[in-house]
């Protein structure tokens, strides 16, 4: 269970939000909404523990994430604006290196399988600098296919994807919720997630 209690965010001189609280249980999806600059990304960065909140607490399974940082990070999968892939490496190498750095074990067959699912079959061995923007995003999303950590935090996951890929990703997130996972995400496009309880939070 992920809980946020009375969070306050100040960036520069501006207070973006204050008194923000929510609770997220297994199988639930939290949709963050708000105009540009409302503090959606700042809130996500607080939730992953990279940005300390001005006031308030974030708790994972009842414990403050500041105190159990390593345990929390082992349960967390974050997909940001940036793809976190290396241009010089191939999609396959990126996926394997990413999993190893995150402390997960991933076999090469599973990785190839995941890349096939995101529509990159036949391009596993091509350096990522030769891929298009959308294809690079797909390499980053391939992590989600194999990821079994309980909490997903996704920042604009649908950006740069075509219609088919949006439906596919909605399916992946549904499957994650059905397994009892949790997800927090921001998006400007309304996307229907078929399974799980969807809750909305508007900030700003």
* Residue ranges binding another protein (CB under 8 A): 45, 48-52, 70-71, 73-74, 76, 78, 80-89, 93, 97-98, 100-103, 127
Q: Which CB sits closer to another protein, 96 or 195? A: 96
CB–CB of 114/145 below 8 Å?
yes
Residue 52 or 122: the one with the smaller Cβ distance to another protein is 52
CB atoms within 10 A of CB 50: 10
What does the alpha-carbon distance between residue 154 and residue 162 come to, in Å, rounded to a whole number? 18
**Cβ neighbours of residue 126 under 8 Å, at least 6 residues apart?**
90, 91
β-bridge mates for residue 33, sequence order: 202
Report whether 200 contacts 20 (CB < 8 A).
Answer: no
Shorter beta-carbon distance to another protein: residue 82 or 192? 82
Nearer CB in complex with another protein: 93/113: 93
The CB density around residue 132, as the number of other CB atoms within 10 Å, is 9
CB of 139 to another protein, least distance (A): 12
Looking at the DSSP bridge assignments, the partners of residue 202 are 33
């Amino acid at each position: 269970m992920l809980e946020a209690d009375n969070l306050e965010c100040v960036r520069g001189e501006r207070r973006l939000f204050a008194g923000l609280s929510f609770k997220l249980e297994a199988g639930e999806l939290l949709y963050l909404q708000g105009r540009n600059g409302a503090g959606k990304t700042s809130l996500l960065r607080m939730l992953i523990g990279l940005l300390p909140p001005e006031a308030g607490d974030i708790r994972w399974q009842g414990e403050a994430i500041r105190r159990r940082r390593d345990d929390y990070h082992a349960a967390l999968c974050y997909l940001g604006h940036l793809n976190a892939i290396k241009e010089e490496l191939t999609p396959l190498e990126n996926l394997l290196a990413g999993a190893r750095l995150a402390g997960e074990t991933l076999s090469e067959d599973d990785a190839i399988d995941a890349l096939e699912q995101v529509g990159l079959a036949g391009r596993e061995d091509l350096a990522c600098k030769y891929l298009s923007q959308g294809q690079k995003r797909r390499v980053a999303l391939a992590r989600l296919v194999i990821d079994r950590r309980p909490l997903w935090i996704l920042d604009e996951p649908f950006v740069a994807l075509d219609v088919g890929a949006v439906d596919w990703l909605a399916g992946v997130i549904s499957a994650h919720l059905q397994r009892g996972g949790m997800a927090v995400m921001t998006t400007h496009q309304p996307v229907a997630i078929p399974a799980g309880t969807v809750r909305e939070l508007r900030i700003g």
